[in-house]
Amino acid sequence: MDRVWKKKVIVITGASSGIGRAIALLLAKKGAHVVLAARREEPLEDLAAECEALGVQALVVPTDVADAASVRHLAEEAVRAFGHFDGWVNNAGVYMLGSLEETPDEAFRQLMEINFFGTVSGSRAALGQFRRQGYGTLVNVSSTFGSVPAPYVSAYVSSKFAVRGFSASLRQELLNTGIDVCTVMPAAIDTPLWRHTANYTGWRIRPVEPVYTPERVARTILRVLRHPEPETLVGPAGKSFATMHGLLPGTFERTMRASTDALHFKDARTGPTSGNVFQPMPEGTGTSGGYHGAGKQWLRRFLVAGGLAAAAVTLRRRASDRRLGVRLSHALGA
Ligand SMILES: NC(=O)c1ccc[n+]([C@@H]2O[C@H](COP(=O)([O-])OP(=O)(O)OC[C@H]3O[C@@H](n4cnc5c(N)ncnc54)[C@H](OP(=O)(O)O)[C@@H]3O)[C@@H](O)[C@H]2O)c1
């Protein structure tokens, strides 16, 4: 038990697995009461029992964040049970792979409903109570992909850039109100997300290393709940990506495309799946997804594979620019 957390109440969406589950367990260990939301009731009940065994109260509220009324109900239930809440973590989210042309429009839109509009609904619901009580911390979970783009994940990237932009805007609106808005952007994390992924690429996918633990994200989120920070990247790989993209966006994007092709699409072929986008999947209720990254190896491979490919593309482009230059020179008579 930690004095700082005792009697604090935190609402967590997406608590039925992965990062949300890790946040709930860590909060419970520290002595905070938790309000657990997601679509799957059974894993939430199991988690609530684990939290209560640690000596705190845990309230389960089955919630679909794509439905604004369901999110309002979550806030009402939290206040009915505890009288207030100190923090709200908009963590629920789904992942989806596929080129834009492969991705069905309805799946793209549903992902936005969950990842982006779910965050908007959660923020509105939390804000109502934060205004009444005069304080509160909102944490919105974005991603490294809220900071740098990647190919074959345009829906996800759009949603996470949107979460980041929305949160930054809201943060400015709430300056000096006692209400903080924080964005947390994890790199690749070992959770069941990869098993829940909607995948229209035709290739079986696993996370590309380095893959960090959900507990690492949970520790960061607890830190941010206590000492609010505007934006926090979790995992050195994500920080390197953000720096590289900021410095050399063109080279980064070519490298990202080349290394994604080289590293991602090499496993077995598989059929398309909508994963947990339209409804929850029974499997994947743990904190970890069972992916153990070899870590540092990968960044080197990314840089070498991508760097070589980017260099090849650049050389080819230069050669073709030269040919074009020669043709133009001929045409212009220079
Ligand atoms: N794993 C990574 O590499 C990674 C990296 C960066 C950011 N993130 C972000 O971290 C967050 C948590 O993901 P995770 O890795 O822990 O994956 P996860 O294990 O699949 O957890 C996702 C959670 O979101 C819930 N959820 C999905 N759709 C929902 C809906 N419509 N309404 C309510 N809850 C919903 C799921 O529960 P139900 O299915 O029971 O509803 C589950 O509890 C997501 O926002 C994700 O984008 C993950």
Token pair listed for 312: 């090849």
Distance in Å, CA 95 to ligand 1 centroid: 8
Token couple for 48: 């609530």
The number of C-alpha atoms within 13 Å of 209 and in the hemisphere containing its C-beta is 12
Whether 192 lines ligand 1, by a CB cut-off of 6 Å, is yes
**What confidence score (pLDDT) does residue 262 get?**
85
273 by Cβ neighbours in 10 Å (0-12 / 13-18 / 19+) ranks as middle
Q: Report the separation in Å between the CA atom of 91 and the middle of ligand 1, taken as the mean of its atom positions.
A: 6
Hey, is 90 helix, strand or coil?
strand
Residue among 11, 17, 41, 292 to mutate when testing ligand 1 (max atoms within 8 A of CB): 17
What is the reported pLDDT for 2?
85
Do the Cβ atoms of 11 and 88 come closer than 8 Å? yes
Nearest alpha carbon, ligand 1 atom 45: 93
DSSP assignment letter at 201: S
Residue 17 beta carbon below 6 angstroms from any ligand 1 atom: yes
Instruction: Kindly give the number of the ligand 1 atom that is closest to the alpha carbon of 144.
Output: 6
Residue spans of the domains in the chain: they are 9-249+268-293
Task: For ligand 1, pick from 42, 94, 291 the residue to mutate: most ligand atoms within 8 Å of CB.
Answer: 94
Ligand 1 within 6 A of CB of 148: no
Q: Residue 319's pLDDT is what?
A: 45
Out of 95, 152, 156, 212, pick the active-site residue: 156
The finding on whether 74 has its CB within 6 A of some atom of ligand 1 is: no
With a 6 Å cutoff on the Cβ, whether 306 touches ligand 1 is no
Other beta carbons less than 10 A from residue 303's beta carbon: 15
The residues, any chain, with a CB within 8 Å of residue 170's CB and separated by 6 or more, are 123, 138, 181
| Runs of H (alpha helix) within the chain | 18-30, 41-53, 68-82, 105-112, 118-133, 154-173, 193-196, 214-226, 236-247, 249-263, 296-332
Q: How far is the CA of 300 from the centre of ligand 1 (A)?
A: 28
Q: What is the pLDDT of residue 276?
A: 98
What pLDDT, on the 0 to 100 scale, is given for residue 311?
53
Q: What is the pLDDT along the chain (334 residues), one digit of tens a residue?
A: 788 999 999 999 999 999 999 999 999 999 999 999 999 999 999 999 999 999 999 999 999 999 999 999 999 999 999 999 999 999 999 999 999 999 999 999 999 999 999 999 999 999 999 999 999 999 999 999 999 999 999 999 999 999 999 999 999 999 999 999 999 999 999 999 999 999 999 998 888 889 999 999 999 999 999 999 999 999 999 999 999 999 999 999 999 999 888 887 777 899 999 999 999 999 999 999 998 654 455 555 555 555 555 555 554 554 443 333 323 222 222 2
Nearest-CA residue for ligand 1 atom 17 is: 193
Q: Residue 92: CB within 6 Å of ligand 1?
A: yes
CATH 3.30.565.10 fits 9-249+268-293, yes or no: no
- C-beta of residue 107 within 8 angstroms of C-beta of residue 28: no
Catalytic annotation on 156? yes
Q: Is the CB of 64 under 6 A from ligand 1?
A: yes
The two three-digit tokens of residue 98, written as one number = 């596929």
> Would the CB of 12 count as within 6 Å of ligand 1?
no
